[in-house]
A and B are shown apart, each in its own frame.
Chain A
Amino acid sequence: MTVRLERIRASGRIGGIDLHRSLPSFVLAGYGIFILSLFARNVMTWYINPSYVAPTTLAGAVLVGLAFGALARRPAVACHDGCCSTGDCDCETPSTRWTTHALLLFPLLLALIFPPRGLAAFSANQRGAEIAGLTPIHGSATVKRVSLSVDTRSFTLEDWVGAISADPNPRDYTGKPVVLTGMVLHNPASVPPGYIMVIRYLVTCCIADARPIGLVVKDTSHGALQDNQWVTVRGTMGAAGYQGQSLAVVEPQRIDLVKSQSPYVY
């Protein structure tokens, strides 16, 4: 086996395929196919904002096109010592850096082995969850501001975050119906005792800039709920005293475990 690998390394060929010339094209095609597969499986938004899906998919198609173009190109004569001394030649020195290709193939291997998965509660604590009503959540271009004359049963978590950021006074919301779905996060340092957070990640460009935003919810499970569990909370808005101020909190009538889903909002 080792001897065979050494022969391949020395000759740069497997069967009739010239690896030195073909491998860069395969890597290009690999990136293109990876991106197109994300689009085909409708999971690209697990990595990037939906606004970028179209240009990214186009980029994937272009990469595949470039790869085919490179493979279809008539192979140039390989350069040899001194052939370019006249300064007028048309030869090609192909890449021989296996480590380079290994580096480029590494992300594709990761993508192949590990399917897209949402950021966990761990990242929310690393990045610092922003709690509606406790700190103003700026970024009004991305966090909607919603009028409370609307039936609040249709409000999503981000709608509530936007509304409470615009008007943090809990008295304006007390008694309003709430139905929201999100990921459970325990953060005793940031919320009153006996309360949890239900969060999602607000994404601007890609998940590298994702910010965890959420609401404070009374923990009627008495500690049974765990981080990373997905729940749908049905209840009403209330208020709780915390750090010298009155905080808008959700008082649940029921909390149901639901299937985990994409944690991102845009």
Chain B
Amino acid sequence: MVLPPQAQDWISNFLGILVEATPFLLLGVVLSATVHVFVSEDRLLKLVPRNPVLSLIPAMGLGMLMPVCECGNVAVARRFLAKGVPVSTCIAFLLASPILNPVALFATATAFRYYPSMVWLRGGLAFLVAASVGLLIGRSGAGERLLAARIERSPEHVHHHHHSPVKGQTWHARLVSRLAEVSNQAGTEFLTMMQVLVIGAAVASATQVLVPRTDITGLGGGIVLSIVAMMSLAFVLSICSTVDAFFALSYSNIFATPALLAFLVFGPMISMKSVGMMLTAFRPRVVFAMVAVTVELVFLGALLLNLRGALL
């Protein structure tokens, strides 16, 4: 069957995004399922300080330990939310972990060898934005009111409560039973997350095919428009945070460092791919608020850097 080049390229882009995202998504749901089965709510909540500001520390720390990009961290954040971890902590983790993880930071350092400060700028701005968004949203209400209804009434949800170990059951049998539960949970979550990834990938691919990239980058090199252009590009392209630094580098002859920084911070946090996934964890108005506040903070951060560069 011969298709027009636009349709064929859309299919190639679409399937490419899905294939590339699959291992990261799978890693995220396996981690999420493992937490669900092996870590009790009480134990998890003991690790999180009650103070909303201090609770950000384990959120960021956990993000630094987990080598997942945005495809995988939503599943983990969902699990934390379902376990009762404060919303501010979960949101901070969700936004920061794609950037603060070691793979993304190393990739940034490699790509921007000629400008090592980019690593600190990226990590620092991501930390500030994630912490601010988490605290702001977390203050807006009790966790349950912010959660997506489907977390509670998902048809795939198995009404399976943790029972006390069966008398006489060996540790080996208990481990096998729990691993089976991890497997079942991971499979279910994978399908849930894949639904939104399919939609996000379809939209991102359509945008790539329909909107010439030069229409976005051609917005100009001005202090404001350059940032808008790169943030728009980041939203549309939905490139994984572990490699987006190399992509951003290709625009270093067109845009100044603050615009590239906006791309590197905004893209892993908010993109066509990730917004759909966030809707599996939060209510639409919460996701809208997260997007709006993140846009503003990243833009302001990059703009301040631009102005600083212009003034000095």
Chain A residues near B (Cβ < 8 Å): 24-25, 27-28, 31, 35, 38, 44, 46-49, 52, 55-56, 58-60, 62-63, 65-67, 69-70, 73, 76, 79, 84, 87-97, 100, 103-104, 106-107, 110-111, 113-114, 116-123, 125-128, 130, 135-142, 204-209, 211, 228
Contacts and interface: CB of A to CB of B under 8 A. Distances in A.
Given A47-B19, A66-B183, A137 B250 contact: yes
A76 B181 CA distance: 13
12 contacts: A56-B19, A92-B159, A103-B198, A103-B199, A110-B11, A118-B12, A119-B9, A139-B247, A139-B249, A141-B246, A205-B242, A208-B13
Contacts of A96: 155
Interface residues of B, number: 66
A22 to B, nearest CB: 12
Given A24-B156, A122-B9, A208-B208, 11 more contacts: A28-B187, A35-B19, A38-B19, A56-B23, A59-B26, A96-B155, A104-B198, A107-B14, A116-B15, A141-B113, A208-B16
A69 B155 contact: no
A70 B195 contact: no
Interface stretch (B38-46, B53-61, B232-240): B232-240
Contacts of A204: 243, 246-247
B157 A142 contact: no
Contacts of B15: 47, 107, 110-111, 116
A126 B213 contact: yes
Contacts of A113: 1
A92 B20 contact: no
Contacts of B8: 114, 117, 120
Contacts of A48: 16, 19-20
Given A79-B159, A113-B1, A141 B110 contact: yes
A118 B16 CA distance: 11
Contacts of A128: 212-214, 217
Interface of B: 1, 3, 5-6, 8-9, 11-20, 22-23, 26, 30, 110-111, 113, 155-161, 163, 180, 183-184, 186-188, 190-191, 194-195, 198-199, 204-205, 208-209, 211-214, 217, 237-240, 242-244, 246-247, 249-253
Contact of B239 (A59, A125, A126, A205): A205
Contacts of B205: 208
A69 B187 contact: yes
Question: Which of B184, B191, B208 has the most CB atoms of chain A within a 10 A radius of its CB?
Answer: B191
A70 B1 contact: no
Nearest to B29: A66
Contacts of A59: 22-23, 26
Contacts of B209: 123, 126
A98 to B, nearest CB: 12
B18 A107 contact: yes
Name which of B156, B209, B242, B251 has the most chain A CB atoms within 10 A of its CB.
Answer: B156
B17 to A, nearest CB: 5
Contacts of B22: 31, 35, 56, 59-60, 63
A24 B6 CA distance: 32
